[in-house]
Amino acid sequence: MNPYFQINLDVAERSCLVVGGGDEATEKSDRLLDAGARLTLVSPRITPRLQESARDGKLRYFQRRFRFEDLDDVFLVVNTARSNPELTRQVFETACARGILINSYDQPAFSNFGMVALVHPGHLRLSISTSNASPSLASRLRQDLEALFDEEFVDYLEQLARVRQHLKAREPDREKRIERLRSLVATFRLEGRLHYPENWREQVETLLTQDLE
């Protein structure tokens, strides 16, 4: 388990590479494209969604297996292929030697950054990480939070952005700008409660002590 150092990374107009073409590659590709990356995808087969993105010119697609020259001039790599552990190790070591950021899906030992669960309604980017203690829980939290932030929240945040830009252009006094912006969120609250599985301690103890085939 590694807590990592949490940052937001600017990949806009930077060359990024995704290896693999399954569901994980689709999700990671969508996130990179949403962040403005110049994306290349390498895989013998890809999902229909990735095929559509390639047809629309949103990414470059090479229908073949990974080659080490694919790392040339790349800023960041996401490797979602897991069928060849030795290749995964070589890709990781080569990327590190070249100073390239790399994440190997579900293989933290071959990653130098982590991909967190992401909640992103509108302008919000809320990252969730359990330091690999339980990716399943991170996914569960993401689903619940996505349901919480509704369309009104998306519009609320959009209007806050409009007001902020308006005040930056019209109000030269910084302290007055901050005061007015804070007044718009002063009574905003996020409220909720946690619901744990019934007898979760007993369930955990059972799994830890039973023999698994």
Place of tokens 């990414």: 59
Q: In the beta sheet, which residues pair with residue 39?
A: 16, 59
pLDDT tens across 69-124, in order?
999 999 999 999 999 999 999 999 999 999 999 999 989 999 999 988 899 999 99
Are the CB atoms for 121 and 115 separated by under 8 Å?
no
Ranges of each domain in the chain: 15-115, 150-183
Domain 15-115 has CATH 1.10.260.30: no
The pLDDT, as a whole number, for residue 213 is: 60
pLDDT tens across 126-149, in order?
999 998 889 899 999 999 999 999
- Return the number of other C-beta atoms located less than 10 Å from residue 124's C-beta: 13
Phi then psi for residue 86, to 5 deg, are: -65, -40
Q: Could you give the CA distance from residue 205 to residue 47 in angstroms, rounded to a whole number?
A: 40
pTM more than 0.75: yes
H-type alpha helices, 116-199? 135-148, 151-170, 174-183
- Return the number of other C-beta atoms located less than 10 Å from residue 157's C-beta: 16
Q: Which residues contact 26 (CB under 8 A, 6 or more apart)?
A: 46, 47, 49, 50
Closest CA to 200 of 134, 153, 152: 134
Are the CB atoms for 147 and 24 separated by under 8 Å?
no
Q: Which residues contact 20 (CB under 8 A, 6 or more apart)?
A: 43, 79, 80, 81, 105
pLDDT tens across 138-183, in order?
999 999 999 999 999 999 999 999 999 999 999 999 999 999 999 9
Q: Could you give the CA distance from residue 81 to residue 138 in angstroms, rounded to a whole number?
A: 22
Are the CB atoms for 41 and 59 separated by under 8 Å?
yes
